[in-house]
């Protein structure tokens, strides 16, 4: 599962089985987080890999 969250508030912007670029997700939301209204970067700030069984 691929997840992209807002770095400011942790709002889940994207969660699917297939990857999507951070830039595409940012454009989907108009470049701002809908929860905290922080501007979204088109580049990832932090990357975490979690293995799910």
Q: Is the dihedral of CA 41, 13, 50, 16 positive or negative?
A: negative
Please, are residues 27 and 38 in contact by the beta-carbon 8 Å criterion? no
Instruction: Give 20's pLDDT tier (boundaries 50, 70, 90).
Output: very high
d(CA 46, CA 11) in angstroms, rounded, equals 14
Tokens 């454009």 appear where?
27
pTM > 0.95: no
- What would the mean pLDDT of 9-30 be, rounded to a whole number? 94
Instruction: Give 9's pLDDT tier (boundaries 50, 70, 90).
Output: very high
CA angle 12, 13, 15 (to 5 degrees): 75
- What would the mean pLDDT of 14-37 be, rounded to a whole number? 94
**What is the chain's mean pLDDT, rounded?**
90
């Amino acid at each position: 599962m691929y997840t992209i969250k807002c770095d400011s508030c942790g709002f889940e912007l994207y969660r699917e089985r297939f990857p999507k670029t951070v830039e595409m997700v940012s454009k989907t939301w108009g470049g701002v987080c809908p929860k905290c209204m922080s501007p979204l970067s088109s580049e990832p700030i932090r990357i975490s890999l979690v293995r799910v069984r």
